[in-house]
């Protein structure tokens, strides 16, 4: 029941020099300081020679829950599904749902007589939730024909795990698993970021690592990855709710001689460049700005993978700048300067002031 649109400001940060290519990155956010800060991180990275990224894994997941008359029977089916001799047959059932869906693995676990099946598959340039769900349904229909006593409780049993922080996503990954790194020159740390390598390394250890451990964090070993992920997701038409697991990130800062080595490891970046909100005009324009709109016939999946790399690279810039602001004692001052400004707010927004 669409009734209109809610306007969200979009800022551009960059250029972000990532893997030898410069990107102008759109961020949709009401927090002005976030854009300014991330832009400063991009500047520091650019002046130091750029960042590099590596994609370790690309697999969307869906995990139905099914029930059997007994735990023994559930275990029998689990052994059947995880037997390599049966994988080709199960793959054929799964893959027929789409030209791009390709089953990679099935990981199972049991709770009593209930069996949870975590399907992982490649999904081309789509984020892939609908694609993987169709494939899972085909496999469930096949299993039901082989094991008639199976009762399908739900197509999703939360072992996926979608839109929730979970250990299985943090350990196994979901979507795109990306690592991004850069070496920031010591002089850039001092002149652009207004702090020191030593101060940043110590702050990262006590805040992002030890502090997060004291808080019992799950995948939250970072300063504010969620800020950047949310802004990029909204700008490019991703599912904003998947910010929950997509923001799983561990930020590492180490001294590299007189320079600073910084990296972000993000195992659950869930993005697509076709379907869903990516088809809307403004979101399409943002994807075009990044050069990743749609799909390449000669390389299906490459645009979505590149978007995930850009997300990680922008998070790297955001982490670098915020940590520097905290280390230099600039956090409160910068928020007062940029988040309270009315310079770019139209008159209609100030009616009730």
Task: Report the catalytic residues.
Answer: 31, 163, 239, 335
Residue-wise burial string across 42-66, b where 16 or more C-beta atoms lie within 10 A, e elsewhere: bbbbbebebbbbebeebbbbbbbbb
- List C-alpha distances in Å: 308 to 202, 326, 327: 29, 27, 28
Structural contact between residues 19 and 178, judged by C-beta atoms closer than 8 angstroms: no
* Helical segments of 147-210, H only: 167-172, 186-191, 197-204
Q: How far is it, in rounded angstroms, from Cα 90 to Cα 87?
A: 5
Long-range contacts of 285-288 (CB under 8 A, 24+ apart): 286/10, 286/26, 286/235, 286/236, 286/237, 287/236, 287/237
Number of H helices, E strands in the chain: 13, 11
Burial of 262 (0-12, 13-18, 19+ CB in 10 A): buried
């Amino acid at each position: 029941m669409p009734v209109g649109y809610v306007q969200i400001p979009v800022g551009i940060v960059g250029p972000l020099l990532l893997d030898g290519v410069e990107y102008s990155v759109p961020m949709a956010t009401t927090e002005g300081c976030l854009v300014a800060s991330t832009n400063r991180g991009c500047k520091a990275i650019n002046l130091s020679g750029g960042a590099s990224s590596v994609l370790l894994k690309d697999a969307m997941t869906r995990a139905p829950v099914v029930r059997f008359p007994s735990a023994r029977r559930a275990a029998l089916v689990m052994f059947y599904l995880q037997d390599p001799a049966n994988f080709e047959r199960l793959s054929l059932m799964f893959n027929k749902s789409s030209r791009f869906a390709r089953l990679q693995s099935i990981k199972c676990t049991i709770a009593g007589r209930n069996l949870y099946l975590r399907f992982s598959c490649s999904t081309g340039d789509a984020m892939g939730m609908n694609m993987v769900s169709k494939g899972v349904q085909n496999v469930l229909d096949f299993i039901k024909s082989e094991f008639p006593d199976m009762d399908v409780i739900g197509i999703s049993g939360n072992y996926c795990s979608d839109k929730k922080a979970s250990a299985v996503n943090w350990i196994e990954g979901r979507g795109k698993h990306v690592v991004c790194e850069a070496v920031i020159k010591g002089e850039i740390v001092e002149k652009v970021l207004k702090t020191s390598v030593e101060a940043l390394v110590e702050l990262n250890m006590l805040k992002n690592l030890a502090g997060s451990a004291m808080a019992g964090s799950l995948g939250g070993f970072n300063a504010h990855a969620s800020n950047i992920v949310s802004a990029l997701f909204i700008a490019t038409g991703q599912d904003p709710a998947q910010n929950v697991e997509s923001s799983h990130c561990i930020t590492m800062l180490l001294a590299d001689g007189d320079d600073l080595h910084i990296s972000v490891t993000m195992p659950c970046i869930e993005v697509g460049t076709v379907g869903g909100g990516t088809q809307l005009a403004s979101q399409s324009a943002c994807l075009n700005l990044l050069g990743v709109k749609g799909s390449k016939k000669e390389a299906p999946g490459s645009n979505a993978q590149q978007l995930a790399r850009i997300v990680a690279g922008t998070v790297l810039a955001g982490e670098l700048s915020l940590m520097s602001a905290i280390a230099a004692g600039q956090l409160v001052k910068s928020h007062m300067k940029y988040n309270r400004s009315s310079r770019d707010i139209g008159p209609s927004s100030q009616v009730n002031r």
